[in-house]
C-alpha cells in the first residue's frame, strides 16, 4: 500500500495535482477540503460544525478533521493506496496520521511532496478560481490572506516533521500543470 502526502499552501495546486496523480497511479484521492464541502452541501452535523471555521479561513479543529479522515480511510480500506491532499495540516495531525496508518493498515507515509508558490501568486490563483466556483473562502482577499497566515502559523511546521524523517521532497509549484505533474510523478514512481 502506498501513502503519498501532497503538501503546500492554499492555492499551491495540491487539489489539481492530486486528482491527476490519483487517476494515473490508481490511488484513492482524499481531500479533506472536498470532504468538508460535501458535508456542508449536505448539511450534515459535521458540515454545520466546520462551516464557520472554513468561511472565515481558519483551520477546522483537529478533532473534527481527524474523525472525518478516519471514516474515509476505513471506508476505502481495500485500496491500493492514498494520495492525501489537505491532511495533515498541523503537527498534531501529522502525529495522528502516523498512528492511524499504523493501526488501520500497518503502514506508513512513503513521501511528502511539498509544492512551493509565492504568496502573491497564491492570492491571484485563488481569486481566479473563485470566478468559476461557489467557494466563499475563495472570493474574498482578506479570507484568502488569513488562510495563508494559518498555513505559515500552523501548517508550515509539518514540513519539518517529515524532513526529520527524511520523507520530504520540495518542489517548485510555479510551473505549468504538466511540468509539475511530471516532477511529482517522478518522485511517486520511486515508491510504486
Ligand atoms: P485550500 O488548500 O485551497 O485552502 P482546501 O479545500 O484544502 O483548500 O481546504 C479548505 C478549508 O478546509 C481550509 O481553509 C480549512 O478551513 C479546512 N481544512 C481542510 N483540511 C483541513 C485540515 N487538515 N485541518 C483543519 N482544517 C482543514
Domain ranges of the chain: 2-186
Please work out whether the CB of residue 7 comes within 6 Å of at least one atom of ligand 1.
no
Which class is domain 2-186?
alpha beta
Give Cα separations from 71 to 140, 141, 159 (angstroms): 31, 33, 25
> Which pLDDT score, from 0 to 100, does residue 77 have?
80
C-alpha cell at 31: 481531500
C-alpha cell at 137: 473562502
Do residues 66 and 96 lie in contact, with contact meaning Cβ atoms separated by under 8 Å?
yes
> Which pLDDT score, from 0 to 100, does residue 149 have?
98
Please work out whether the CB of residue 29 comes within 6 Å of at least one atom of ligand 1.
no
Flag residues of the chain having pLDDT under 70. Answer: none
pTM for the model stands at 0.97
The answer on whether 88 is annotated among ligand-binding residues is yes
Please work out whether the CB of residue 173 comes within 6 Å of at least one atom of ligand 1.
no
Atom 9 of ligand 1: nearest residue by CA position: 33
Amino acid at each position: 500500500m502506498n501513502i503519498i502526502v501532497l503538501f503546500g499552501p492554499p492555492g499551491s495546486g495540491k487539489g489539481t495535482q492530486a486528482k491527476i496523480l490519483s487517476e494515473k497511479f490508481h490511488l484513492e484521492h482524499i481531500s479533506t477540503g472536498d470532504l468538508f464541502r460535501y458535508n456542508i452541501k449536505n448539511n450534515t452535523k459535521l458540515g454545520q460544525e466546520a462551516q464557520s471555521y472554513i468561511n472565515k479561513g481558519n483551520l477546522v479543529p483537529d478533532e473534527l478533521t481527524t474523525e472525518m479522515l478516519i471514516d474515509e480511510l476505513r471506508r476505502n480500506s481495500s485500496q491500493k493506496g492514498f494520495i492525501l491532499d489537505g491532511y495533515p495540516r498541523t503537527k498534531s495531525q501529522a502525529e495522528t496520521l502516523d498512528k492511524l496508518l499504523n493501526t488501520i493498515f500497518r503502514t506508513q507515509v512513503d513521501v511528502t511532496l511539498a509544492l512551493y508558490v509565492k504568496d502573491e501568486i497564491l492570492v491571484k490563483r485563488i481569486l481566479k478560481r473563485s470566478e468559476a466556483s461557489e467557494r466563499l473562502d475563495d472570493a474574498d482577499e482578506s479570507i484568502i490572506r488569513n488562510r495563508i497566515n494559518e498555513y505559515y502559523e500552523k501548517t508550515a511546521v509539518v514540513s519539518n516533521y517529515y524532513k526529520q524523517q527524511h520523507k520530504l521532497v520540495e518542489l517548485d509549484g510555479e510551473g505549468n500543470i504538466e511540468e509539475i505533474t511530471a516532477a511529482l510523478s517522478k518522485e511517486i514512481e520511486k515508491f510504486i
